[in-house]
Structure 1
Amino acid sequence: MDKIVTVLLSQDGGGAFDHKVLFWTAGEWVRRNLPERLGEPDCAASLPEAAARLGDADAVLLVCAPCPELRESDYQRLVDVHFAVGSSVTLLLSGECRDGLAVLRGADGEICHTGTTGGERLLHTAVFQADTLRAAVAGGAEGFRQLVDAALERGCPVGGVQVSAPVVEVWDGAGAYEAQKRLMQRVNFALIESGVQVFAPEGTYISPDAQIEPGAVILPGCLIREGCKVAAGAVIGPNTILEKAGIGARTTVNSSQVYESEIGADATVGPFAYVRPGCKVGDHTRIGDFVELKKAEIGDGTKVSHLTYLGDATVGERVNFGCGTVVVNYDGYHKYQTVIGDDCFIGCNTNLVSPVSLGDRVFTAAGTTVTKDVPDGALAVARARQTVYEGWNDRRRAAHGKKDS
């Protein structure tokens, strides 16, 4: 089998390949869609450097401008046709050329020269026989078009392969944006066809590697970044960000952000919850509004309804957190762990000063600051005793000339 290598030629310092397109760089799109036979591509900043990377290869796939929309099958067909026909150069073409680089054919149908108007649009991607590329570089070729022209001038056979649909080359931010719009639609409509309900495909950004099961619902304004898994029946959004997150079946995540964490089945998250990396939230749980979790493990059936921070905490099952609970896990130098058992009731405005452990069935009174371990079944109260001074405020008002209305 003929040996072929891949070289990404970034004569602009890699800028084109570095543009972000739907959570990946344009260069990453190329790498991920290359057939296995082509291996890991090398990067070069000039044609002499590209020629030096060929080694003992028979041919090279040279990519001078990334096309994120190209599929593995497009690259595979280009390589297969090149070796089957035996051309010195096989160019990748994309429909009719209205602007940009083009190839023109003679009366015999063979490619005879390049141009900038008419003809077929020439993408900056081609397979070159190694000797053809070396000869063109030795002759002074400094860019992609000059490589093709040098081969044509030497009378080398040059062929072309049309891609199945017109694609966008990424040279700058505008090209990256156009490619992203098209890929966004490709990803979203593929999900819709598989049984996922995407309410606003024109405004929902989903990474192509996200695994979303049929029956899931994606509401408007969501960003589902790479590494996410969403189970059937889950409802994501509106206005939600997921990144390397796992969302269980029938769970809702509403106007919230979940990073590098797992949320169980039949749970609710949000609105306005923030789940930071390293969390594992169980089934039938509630993570409510303005709740922040960090490296927290939350047991099944636990409710953290609102205005609460749980960091570096292990929480059992069926625990109820009152509003305003804070795990005080940082002393300015180190982070410490808090452990809470099953069936606990954490009163409003409780501070749990780590490291501290609460047993099963513990009740903390509202306003308590817990600094010592609490055994099973106990009540913890740590607050100043209330004192009432009758008539005090009436006397204060009178002293300042206030009258009752």
Structure 2
Amino acid sequence: MTRCRLCGSATLASVVDLGATPPCESFLAADQLDRPEPAYPLHLRVCTDCWLAQIPPLITPEETFKEYAYFSSYSTSWVEHARTFVTDAVERLGLGGDSFVVEVASNDGYLLKHVVDRGIRCLGVEPSVNVGAAAREAGVPTVTEFLSPDTGAAVRAEHGPADLVVANNVYAHIPDVVGFTQGLRALVADDGWVSIEVQHLLTLIEENQYDTIYHEHFQYYTVASAIRALASGGLTLVDVELLPTHGGSIRLWARPAAVAGEPSGRVAEVLDREKAAGLQELSGYTEFSDRVAKVRRDLLRFLIEAADRGETVVGYGAPGKGNTLLNHCGIRPDLLAYTVDRNPYKHGRFTPGTRIPILPPERIAEDRPDYVLVLPWNLRAELVEQLSFVHEWGGRLVFPIPELSMVEVER
């Protein structure tokens, strides 16, 4: 990577180099284990002109998302988060029977099904064939497309302008930031709203959340860099909310520039927090790599010592972030016998790079391991409750991020 994908600057500074890893959602079938497996450099840099943090676009969205292993509906807390968002958005924007809502990267309809239930016309724009089919089966109108200025204009021409365009956890997933933002502008009505949720670079760095750096995420936003990205497509930030999702996210409320008006006081407050953390100068990034290395050392030390004591450790979850962690730490089945996941699509497959078997969740109760390493640490409250049965045999939960910690769950 030689130039920033947002502003074109050549002044990119290293933040953390995680080596080379396979694409995080490229789970392996058993008959693929003896085949070559491509790996790509995973090196996060920050532009010292616009402060957009980014990795090189070494794989395309088409390679990742045409057939996708992640189904949002398998996370109970995420479905509830979506329901609450729809309820609040309907009230905030006065949406009703005459309104039209579009969600970009709508996955399996986890959010729009709540819009359908309210009798509001909606459409999902989802690039993955398999999860888009699941959405349609659930009664959510969905087209299989990647968003671009052309597809945005085509959807608008066929269905009309959207009063609300939702883009949750996708703004980091596209290398063409400018084109995607222009696509959002093409979809939204001239007096409409765009709501974007994306992980906040501030919490990523403060909480050592380096496992959320993977090839599906091409960039990582502060509010300051998001303002510049939105402007590239003719949108203006008018409000921001800080959310606990994914370890710390921002919800960006934007409108077409001509109707945006002055931003809320919350925008200035978050910009001040980012500036105080040093994220508009290199000083805010320099120690991150050292803290990442400590996470790796602590986790490996725990796993090696547990193995030496003859104790068993298994994983819970097979999220994309988990595969960054497993590959960076070099963890193999000798240290983590297997992991489990609620998504049956992943059962019988193996984690990319590290080749750890993925089994159904019931296997934990059958095997009664000493420790369960929780890979989707961002769902901590939900999973501590779901895994409370581990207490029956004295098992403990282990969370690797932001630092190694153990939880003795109780029923």
User: Highest Rg: 1 or 2?
Assistant: 1
**TM-score band, normalised by shorter chain:** under 0.3
Task: Report the TM-score, using the length of structure 1 for normalisation.
Answer: 0.23
Higher strand share: 1
Task: Report the TM-score, using the length of structure 2 for normalisation.
Answer: 0.23
